[in-house]
């Protein structure tokens, strides 16, 4: 039987490919964004407790009401943002499902979606499946900030969605409040929704505070904001995230969500609700630990010929390898894993087309021993 190719040009994601190669070659894996340490033990205990207590059937479609309340309280406490847990929060199977549902809910054939390039890999396929056309606006070098004129030029009456990832994977850059002001001014005359991918919101460094689109009065009414507990609690395998959007947008979002997953893992949701109340300061500790790991990675890499670009957030850092090789990034990364035993992620898959950048992305959410071993191997380059 023949089958249509609904996602031409899409293969297996680079994260899966590199993790598989890392296993095959016994490499240190600084590729896929996965911590090599465990979530807080208390959180694991809470999941077990709720499973044993019998919380093992479908959760409510929009999410455990207690978790939604605690999420609202958390956003109020940290950002002074008022969110209605009943009508504005939907718990999803990770940030990925939230991104997918927001895109399906907002765009269709004839609509345009604007992405900032390099962009996280899941946005474009979701927009293509919805039948929308994608326009990519390059982030400027060397600091990967938006090119406001180019963004203004890309917007038109056909623009239905603009996707902004802050803090940014893969660049590690963050947008400040002034950038959100500029974004709001550009979007103001349009009918474009904003998809604010803020899954790394708690991971900002060097005293920078995350500027959430939800706290911006110009952006809030047009914003779907997406979060991931996997990133906050070092439990990427649990796949629980959520989306915050105005009530009417949330209604449309839930129409999609109910037929994608219907509802999310019940005991994990309740455990997260408990943990948010028990340990409200945990997110700040996570950021401090991530910053220390970034600093260690930076110190270790001074022993190599690779040059680090600054990372102000997420748990990723771009690395320039032009002093070591002139190979295109995909080939260089393949050699690195096969010959030197270190897996990293090339920048190209985040971009519309490969550029002349000689950049790769390293994940520093790793134990010191892992980073040390990687640096030792990279020093041989």
Smallest separation (angstroms) from ligand GLN to the CB of 351: 14
| Contact between 165 and ligand GLN per CB under 6 A | no
Instruction: Give the residue at shortest CB distance from ligand PMP.
Output: 94
- The DSSP result for 292-358, as a single string, is HHHHHHHHHHTTSS-EEPP--BTTEEEEE-TTT--S-HHHHHHHHHHHH-EE-EESGGGSSS--S--
Using rule CB under 6 A, residue 230 touches ligand PMP: yes
Q: In this chain, which of 92, 104, 169, 317 binds ligand GLN, going by CB under 6 A? A: 169
Residue 13 or 261: the one with the smaller Cβ distance to ligand GLN is 13
Contact between 13 and ligand GLN by CB under 6 A: the answer reads yes
| Residue 88 contacts residue 253 (beta carbons within 8 Å) | no
Q: Does 197 bind ligand PMP (CB under 6 A)?
A: yes
> Is residue 236 a contact point for ligand PMP (CB under 6 A)?
yes
Task: Please state, in angstroms and rounded to a whole number, the distance separating the CA atoms of residues 60 and 22.
Answer: 39
Tell me: does residue 29 bind ligand PMP (CB under 6 A).
no
What are residue 164's phi and psi, to 5 degrees? -130, 130
- Least Å from the CB of residue 169 to ligand PMP: 4
User: Footprint of ligand PMP on residues 132-191 (CB under 6 A)?
Assistant: 165, 169
95 binds, among ligand GLN, ligand PMP, none (CB under 5 to 8 A by kind): ligand PMP
Q: Which residue has the tokens 């959100």?
A: 180
Question: Which DSSP symbol is given to 138?
Answer: E
User: DSSP of 184-239, one letter per residue?
Assistant: HHHHTTS--EEEEE-TTTT-B-TTPPP--GGG-TTTGGGEEEEEEHHHHTT-GGG-
Q: Which two tokens stand for residue 145?
A: 């900030």
Q: Which stretch binds ligand PMP (CB under 6 A): 108-116, 148-156, 234-242, 359-367?
A: 234-242
Residue from 21, 22, 27, 33 binding ligand GLN (CB under 6 A): 33
Q: Does 228 bind ligand PMP (CB under 6 A)?
A: yes
Number of residues that make up the chain: 381
* Cis status, amide bond into 118, omega within 30 of 0: yes
Exposed/middle/buried for 75, CB within 10 Å: 0-12, 13-18, 19+? buried
Residue 54 is classified by DSSP as T
| Partner from ligand PMP, ligand GLN, none binding residue 118, C-beta < 5-8 Å depending on class | none
Instruction: Give the one entry of ligand PMP, ligand GLN, none that residue 13 binds, where binding means its C-beta sits below a cut-off of 5 to 8 angstroms depending on kind.
Output: ligand GLN
> How many residues bind to ligand PMP according to rule CB under 6 A?
14
97: three-class secondary structure by DSSP: helix
The stretch among 3-11, 93-101, 263-271, 302-310 that binds ligand PMP (CB under 6 A) is 93-101
Q: Is the dihedral of CA 70, 60, 34, 214 positive or negative?
A: negative
CB of 314 to ligand PMP, least distance (A): 7
Q: Which residues contact 283 (CB under 8 A, 6 or more apart)?
A: 78, 202, 232
| Interaction between residue 241 and ligand PMP (CB under 6 A) | yes
- Does 15 contact ligand GLN by CB under 6 A? yes
The interface partner of residue 228, options being ligand GLN, ligand PMP, none and the CB cut-off 5 to 8 Å by kind, is: ligand PMP
Which residues contact ligand GLN by CB under 6 A? 13, 15, 32-33, 169
Which residues contact ligand PMP by CB under 6 A? 33, 94-96, 120, 165, 169, 197, 199, 228, 230, 236, 239, 241
């Amino acid at each position: 039987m023949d089958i249509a190719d609904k996602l031409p040009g899409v293969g297996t994601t680079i994260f899966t490919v590199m993790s598989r190669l890392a296993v095959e070659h016994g490499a240190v894996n600084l590729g896929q964004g996965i911590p090599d340490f465990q979530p807080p033990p208390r959180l694991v205990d809470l999941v077990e407790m709720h499973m044993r207590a019998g919380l093992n059937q479908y959760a409510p479609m929009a999410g455990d009401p207690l978790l939604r309340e605690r999420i609202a309280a958390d956003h109020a406490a940290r950002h002074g943002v008022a969110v209605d847990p009943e009508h504005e929060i939907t718990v999803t199977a990770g940030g990925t499902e939230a991104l997918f549902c927001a895109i399906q809910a907002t765009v269709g054939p004839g609509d345009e979606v604007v992405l900032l390039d390099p962009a996280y890999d899941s946005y474009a396929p979701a927009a293509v499946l919805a039948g929308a056309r994608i326009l990519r606006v390059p982030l400027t070098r060397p600091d990967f900030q938006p090119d406001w004129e180019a963004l203004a030029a890309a917007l038109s009456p056909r623009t239905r969605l603009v996707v902004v990832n802050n803090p940014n994977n893969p660049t590690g850059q963050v947008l400040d409040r002034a950038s959100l002001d500029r974004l709001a001014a550009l979007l103001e005359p349009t009918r474009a929704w904003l998809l604010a991918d803020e899954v790394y919101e708690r991971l900002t460094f060097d005293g920078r505070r995350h500027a959430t689109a939800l706290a911006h009065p110009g952006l809030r009414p047009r914003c779907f904001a997406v979060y991931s507990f996997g990133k906050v609690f070092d439990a990427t395998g649990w796949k629980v995230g959520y989306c915050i959007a105005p009530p009417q947008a949330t209604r449309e979002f839930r129409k999609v969500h109910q037929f994608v997953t219907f509802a999310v893992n019940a005991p994990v949701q309740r455990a997260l609700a408990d943990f948010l109340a028990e340990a409200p300061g945990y997110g700040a500790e996570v950021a401090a630990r991530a910053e220390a790991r970034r600093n260690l990675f930076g110190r270790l890499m001074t022993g190599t010929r690779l040059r680090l670009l600054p990372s102000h957030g997420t748990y990723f850092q771009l690395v320039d390898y032009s002093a070591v090789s002139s190979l295109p990034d995909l080939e260089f990364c393949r050699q690195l894993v096969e010959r030197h035993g270190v897996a990293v992620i090339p920048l190209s898959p985040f971009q519309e087309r490969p550029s002349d950048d000689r950049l790769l992305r390293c994940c520093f959410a790793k134990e010191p021993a892992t980073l040390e071993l990687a640096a030792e191997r990279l020093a041989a380059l």
